[in-house]
Amino acid sequence: MGKIRSLFLSHGAPSSIEDAEWMAALKNFGESLEKINGVLVLSAHWVEKSLYAGPLTPTPLIYDFWGFPERLYRVRYSAPIGSNILDALQDLPGIGPIMPAPGRGLDHGMWVPMTGLFPSADIPVLGLSLPGTDPGRLYALGQTLAPLREKGILVVGSGGMTHNLGALISNDKAPVVHWAHAFDRWATEKIQSGDHTSLINFWKEAPNASLAHPTIEHFAPLFVAMGAAGEESHPSFPVDMFRYGSLSLRSVAFWSPDAPS
């Protein structure tokens, strides 16, 4: 299909790892990619004031959720340590200091979608913290990370196209509520048209923004992925589905301009 530039993944809930349709969609997409030498993933569940990177030693996963079935706390995803990714990061012009977090395991915003995308866990994975949630700053960070593409390192932002836990319906196949559908459609149209400015200003411009994202951290990783892709990228949507009435699992792949969308 051509070379992928970056990726935004909606990681759903921890129990999404047992969603066969979603896992199959991620697996099929992962199999379509060219050789990947490493995955740098920025999760909505790791926000700091500056840049931290980990794990850098064999470290257990982080089960940063409560009240789920016990079996979800026994999930394992033993990807190789991303030392090559950290080396590439530190060589980037303008990246600034990166603080090592050697014992910081992959959180569920990282290991849940990685389990679907690369289930064999044979590709190095490194987490990088979001340095705050300001859209403009995160977009600029993505632009700084863009040269990683030349080394076969996939930049992944992991969050959610919509994320309002208080509005979820217990039935995972419940009809999609109007406000969630409207926000998802607006974001999709802006991504397709390359209107990154409107997306960065989504809080003012998007319909139902405060319902779709009562807090910004799950939308924030999209800006990193957009910045890493550049304005001339071609988007596609390897996952396009809703769960629990308002939880959009839509994910976005940004391709090089000569790749089909």
Residue 197's pLDDT is 97
- For the stretch 3-59, pLDDT in tens is 899 999 999 999 999 999 999 999 999 999 989 999 999 999 999 999 999 999 999
Mean pLDDT score, 223-230: 97
Of 92, 107, 182, the C-alpha closest to 141 is: 92
pLDDT digits (tens, 9 = 90+) for 54-107: 999 999 999 999 999 999 999 999 999 999 999 999 999 999 999 999 999 999
DSSP for 27-47?
Answer: HHHHHHS---SEEEEEETT-E
Q: How confident is the model at residue 257 (pLDDT cuts 50, 70, 90)?
A: confident
Q: Which residues contact 99 (CB under 8 A, 6 or more apart)?
A: 50, 51, 52, 53
Judged on CB neighbours under 10 Å (0-12, 13-18, 19+), 60 is exposed
Residue 66 CB partners (closer than 8 Å, separation 6+)? none
Lowest-pLDDT range of 44-58, 90-104, 204-218, 247-261: 247-261
Instruction: Over range 119-134, report the average pLDDT.
Output: 98
Domains of the chain: 4-255 (3.40.830.10)
pTM of the model as a whole: 0.96
Q: Coil, strand, or helix at residue 183? A: helix
Task: Yes or no: say if 119 and 29 are a contact pair by the CB < 8 Å rule.
Answer: no
